[in-house]
Amino acid sequence: MKRQPALPSCRCGCSDGIDRRVFLTAMGAAAGGITWASLSAQDAEAATPVNKKEGATIRCVFLYPPSSTFADDPDGWWSWPGNDFDAEGRQKQYMAALGGMEKRLGAKIVVDPKPVASKDDAQRVAAELQASKPDGLLLVMFYNRSLSDADLILQTAEELGLPTVFFIGLGVKHGAVGQYRRPGVYFIQSLDNLDAIEYGVRMINTKKLLGQSKLLSITEAPEPREGTEKFFGIKVRVIPFDSYAKEFAEVKLGTEAAELIKGFKSGAGEIRGVTEEAFENAARAHFALKKMLADEGADGLTMNCLRRGMLKPCMSFATLNGQLIPAACENDFGAVYTQLIGQLLTGRPGFQANPCYDTESNHYYASHCTCTTRLHGPEGREEKYLLRRFAHTNEGSCAIQVFWPEGEPVTVAKYYTGEPAKFDVYAGRVVTSHPMPPAAGCTTNVEVEITDRPDACMVAGHHNLIFCGDYARQFRLFANLMRMELADTGFVA
């Protein structure tokens, strides 16, 4: 089977236990995964915020009558899926697989050992859901005539607002299924597709983790304050920029900084005009931000970072995102929310970028200064890169130019908080990363062919996130399960 490739005044949409190690595992990466080869595991661990989280609790119900119901009756009518299906054996196999999902994702899947075999059973499950609401629901149906029981439970889930994964084995039900392809339900009809079920569990778990996540906003606020993002409940703590500047000034450069700088340099194909002072300040920014994340128990951050001279955190942001610690430029909450969501759903970091368009090639052109080299996640290969001065000022702070792999699929996405929340998603393919000059913009650029829209200029939004990989369907499934609106004008399936 095919594996699913496994997102008010401060502009954050605010209205006034799993530990970080398992949290990273849920993102699809081993804890302590690092971007730069010279960063030791101990150093990466020092950057790890201590923010314990609880995984989602998901109620799992199998639906089918015991096989003996038909086998013991000489005139028994098996209907679909037929008399060789062995529903009990399938349930054992699925339950073993669900145990593996629990370990990989940090979720808790509570499986009813006995299947729902009648309307009375379904009513009992519905009453239990109402009495003790889980974070999500997984229904696995192995018998065609169990559909009415599934419908009863689905209705209760709808009333409770439970995100639900509804799986029917291929050939178990014949006929139309459009009524199940609706907001709040991830409907799967496939042949033993446990990977699809796991992605459903991942989506529910992502929602649970988002509601326990904490992000920093480093900006010109006179004093710290806190708020909560409206849709997922992400906590935002606003920190005065002066606090960051103070931490930056207090960083003592030693062996750790020397190793970090060596790592920056050793992997670079070229270094263009970056001074030793610029490298030292890049290290100061990184260690200052690591300390702030740890002190605040935060999972990621965004910063009002422009026109900050040598305090700009371009290299740190590239490093943090490579570790699956969300970091977004220009205090852009939509970007850091999208980075967090995308990392949880895919296990890969996104590239926050400014939009541009090649009208004659019908291509999307994106550029920015904080691209990670680990586009395939912490355990993936390191892409080619060079180091150069930040593109828009004269002080000479260090930035990075990463060369994206030509021909690889990419997904462009942006999350917009609100009630309802919105998700904008596009599929594409890397054309090239241009040398600069002659191309212009920020230090990393990537030209993308948009493959699910007829016109690249239809890509909307600023600071979209570009994820290396074909995740457009996965992001849309997440939006549908979470009842978000999709901005799909011109979308071609």
Residues 195 and 218 in one domain: no
Given 178, 208, 238, which residue is the final one in a domain? 208
User: Nearest 5°: phi and psi at 102?
Assistant: -55, -45
Q: Which residue has the higher pLDDT, 104 or 2?
A: 104
Segment 26-51 shows an average pLDDT of: 37
User: Which of 208, 228, 246 represents a domain boundary (last residue)?
Assistant: 208
The model's confidence at residue 82, banded by pLDDT at 50, 70 and 90, is: confident
Q: Same structural domain for residues 145 and 190? A: yes
Please state the domain count of the chain.
Answer: 2
* pTM reported for the whole predicted model: 0.88
Q: Give the whole-angstrom CA distance, residue 37 versus residue 10.
A: 36
Instruction: Give the single-character DSSP code of 77.
Output: -
Query: What's the pLDDT score for residue 17?
Result: 44
Among candidate residues 266, 270, 212, 217, the one with its CA nearest the CA of residue 241? 217
Is 492 among the domain residues?
A: no
Evaluate whether residue 121 is within a structural domain. Answer: yes
The Cβ of residue 76 has, within 10 Å, a number of other Cβ atoms equal to 13
Q: What are phi and psi of 355, to 5 degrees?
A: -90, 145
pLDDT at res. 307: 67
The DSSP element (H or E) to which 374 belongs, if any, is: none
pLDDT at 43: 40
Note the pLDDT tens digit of each residue in 353-404: 999 999 999 999 999 888 999 999 999 999 999 999 876 665 768 899 999 9
Show the domain range for 26: 20-53+212-486
CATH number at residue 149: 3.40.50.2300
Q: Which residue has the higher pLDDT, 442 or 484?
A: 484
Residues 6+ apart with CB under 8 A from 239: 216, 217, 218, 219, 221, 224, 292, 296
Residue 1 falls within a domain, yes or no?
no
Tokens of 301: 């951050």
Instruction: Please enumerate in sequence order all residues whose Cβ is within 8 A of that of 170, keeping only pairs 6 or more positions apart, or say none.
Output: 189, 190, 191
Tell me if 323 sits within 8 A of 372, measured CB to CB. no
The reply to whether 272 and 408 lie within a common domain is yes
Residues 348 and 446 placed together within one structural domain of the fold: yes
pLDDT digits (tens, 9 = 90+) for 399-420: 999 999 999 999 999 999 988 8
Residues 396 and 417 in one domain: yes
Domain membership flag for residue 493: no
Distances (CA, A) of 291 to 48, 236, 251: 9, 17, 10
Whether the Cβ atoms of residue 122 and residue 153 lie closer than 8 Å to each other: yes
Rounded Cα distance between 278 and 314, Å, is 11
Give the residue from 161, 193, 208 where a domain finishes.
Answer: 208
DSSP 8-state class, residue 436: T
247 within some domain: yes
Q: Are residues 26 and 68 in the same domain?
A: no
Give the Cα separation of 208 and 227 in Å (integer): 18
For residue 469, tell me if it sits in a domain: yes
Is the previous residue joined to 378 through a cis bond, with omega within 30 degrees of 0?
Answer: no
202 and 219 part of one domain: no
* Inside any domain, residue 4: no
> Which of 79-88, 193-202, 211-220 bottoms out in mean pLDDT, i.e. has the lowest?
79-88
Clarify whether residues 359 and 432 are in a common domain: yes
Residue 143 lies in a domain: yes
Report whether pLDDT(7) > 70.
no
In the predicted model, is pLDDT for residue 27 greater than 80? no
As a whole number of Å, the end-to-end CA separation of the chain is: 22
- 454: domain CATH number is 3.20.14
Most confident of 80-84, 175-179, 211-215: 211-215
Which residues are within 8 A (CB) of 480 and not within 5 positions of it... i.e. 6 or more apart?
Answer: 182, 183, 184, 185, 186, 486
* 115 and 171, same domain (yes or no): yes
> Do 418 and 458 lie in a common domain?
yes
Listing from the earlier edge strand, what are the strands of the sheet with 108-111? 108-111, 57-63, 136-141, 164-169, 185-190
The string of pLDDT tens digits covering residues 124-165 is 999 999 999 999 999 999 999 999 999 999 999 999 999 999
Q: How far is it, in rounded angstroms, from Cα 377 to Cα 342?
A: 12
Spatial neighbors of 234 by CB under 8 A, at least 6 apart, are 210, 211, 213, 214, 215, 228, 337, 340
For residues 199 and 237, membership in a common domain is answered with no
Tell me: do 408 and 466 sit in the same domain: yes
